[in-house]
Every structure is written in structure tokens, then in C-alpha cells.
Amino acid sequence: MRNMSIDTYKLTSMEEPSDEVLSQLMREAAEDAREANAKATQRYFDELRQAANAIPPSIHHALPSE
């Protein structure tokens, strides 16, 4: 097996990645997922806020209060 690093390993390779390379790939994938989730969550709440702000004030008063 040749010397493998995160920069030289190809996912389509027939060789299994070393434990170190696999660990680095997993860390990077997890970080990408965390970033995408944070962006999606922010976008969701931004859209929810916009939708709430678009409700006319007269409707707010018609809603039952607790």
C-alpha cells in the first residue's frame, strides 16, 4: 500500500483508506453537515419570522390568547 493522505486518497479507489485518512474524512464530513444544518436552521427561522411579520395586525387581535 502506498503512502496515503487525505489529499491523495480517492473515494473511488479500490484501496481501503488508512484509519487516519478515514477519521479525517469523517471529521470533515461531520463539519460540513454541521455547517449545512446551521445554515438551514437559520434560513428556516428567518422565513418563519418573515411569515409572522407578514400577518396583518388585525389578524393578531382576532387570535385567541392564552
Of all residues in the chain, the percent with pLDDT exceeding 70 is 83
Q: Which residue has the higher pLDDT, 35 or 56?
A: 35
Q: Give the predicted TM-score (pTM) of the model.
A: 0.65
Q: Do 18 and 2 contact (CB within 8 A), yes or no?
A: no
* 4 pLDDT higher than 90: no
Q: Which residue has the higher pLDDT, 30 or 14?
A: 30
CB count in 10 Å sphere of residue 33: 10
